[in-house]
A and B are shown apart, each in its own frame.
Chain A
Amino acid sequence: MSLELWIGMLIAAVGTYLIRLLPLLWMQRRLTRSGENGPVDALPKWLVILGPMMIAAVLGVSLVPRTADAAGWLATLIGLGVTLAIWWRTRSLGWPVMGGVLTFGVVVIVARSLM
């Protein structure tokens, strides 16, 4: 990379860092001012709503399989079902993910061999 390109990359890096940092500093000041009302009250309501919506959106974006053919979609559907079923039984984080990934892999392999 040329010097110009390095500078551009550093600006992008610092800018991205500030996008993550500055809202924290703003919120921490707001929390300090809110004092005894408690931290949750200091959050604007729209922000309380938007947090879970962002996670749901990240889920939606990640649902599309790498190879978006019939086998990929079938594996996604069954994988999500198994993930949900294991979560329902264990209420844990790791086991449902592991079970979901294994199921996804098995369904992809089986479906591709049959199609």
Chain B
Amino acid sequence: MSDIGGVRRLHGWLTGVREAIPLLGGYIPVAISFGLISAQAGFSTAETLAISALIYAGASQFLFVGMIASGSPLWLTVAMTLLINVRHVVYAPNIAPWLPKSRWWPWLMHGLTDQIFALAHSRLPQLSESQRVGWFFGAAMLAWLSWIAGSLLGAVAGEWLTSRWPLLGEVMPFALPALFLVLIVPRFTSRRWAAALSVSVAAALVCTLVGLTNIGIPLAAACGALCFYMVRLPETLGTDKGTTKERRPS
């Protein structure tokens, strides 16, 4: 029995690693940029790696090194870093119903980034309980290690890499919108959901275009949720009636 359990956990782990591979297209180029900017801001390679390994939150890391380099007060830098990451508070409760009992979850929460949440929110309900811890461990660990490796590469050879293959840094990040599109499309189950999700996408896009990337995610999600509650459209795309208990929006 324990052998079967072990095989399932290993299978879950490998599935998690395999399904997180598309994330690397977005993680590594951004991590290289972070490593490069951190080095240019005067941080050593070891310090850059420590920031990437311990804070592990893209946008807030850029803000952290940028504010320190520009001479901002430390308390303000820390406060702004945490403020940007506040959006993460809704992630764990959303996937909690799909997390079987395990002492590993508190530790694994370090890996709950925007991207891992999006992947886990879609995939965990489809996996068997015995595979979920392994799946999350595999996916989160691959993403975390790729982020650290990318930061190292950026700190050591960022300038050389970006000058030699400038197009690669532009093309690979498209893996992220492609992945998120694939994760979100199955949720267009009714006109109501389609309208709310479209509002959320459009609001986030506008926020990014006007330079409000960090506040853009929670703000756009709130706009989408508001649309969901306020707009009543005929349910013609599917049978989903909104927040029915038997069909969680997944």
Interface residues of A (CB under 8 A from B): 1, 4-5, 8-13, 15-17, 19-28, 31, 38-43, 45-68, 72, 75-76, 79-80, 83-84, 87, 93-94, 96-98, 100-101, 104-105, 108-109
Contact = CB atoms under 8 A, between A and B. Distances in A.
Contacts of A93: 19, 22, 179, 182
A67 B170 contact: yes
- What range describes how many residues of B lie at the interface? 35 or more
Contact of B216 (A39, A60, A108): A60
A15 B82 contact: yes
A5 B93 CA distance: 32
DSSP majority for the B interface?
helix
B90 A9 contact: no
Given A16-B85, A54-B221, A8 B77 contact: yes
A9 B173 CA distance: 27
A20 B185 contact: no
Interface string B11-43: 000000011011001100000000000000001
B94 interface: yes
A12 B81 contact: yes
DSSP majority for the A interface?
helix
Given A64-B209, A100-B174, A58 B204 contact: yes
Interface string B173-200: 1111111111111010000010011101
21 contacts: A10-B54, A12-B55, A12-B60, A15-B78, A19-B89, A28-B96, A47-B93, A51-B90, A54-B91, A56-B198, A56-B200, A57-B218, A58-B115, A60-B200, A60-B220, A62-B173, A63-B201, A66-B173, A97-B178, A97-B182, A101-B174
B169 interface: yes
B249 A20 contact: no
Interface stretch (B1-9, B105-113, B146-154, B231-239): B105-113
A75 B178 CA distance: 12
A48 B243 contact: yes
Q: Which 5 A-B pairs have the closest CB atoms?
A: A60-B204, A39-B97, A100-B178, A24-B92, A59-B180
A13 to B, nearest CB: 4
Given A20-B112, A59-B201, A101-B25, A52 B187 contact: yes
A37 B86 CA distance: 30
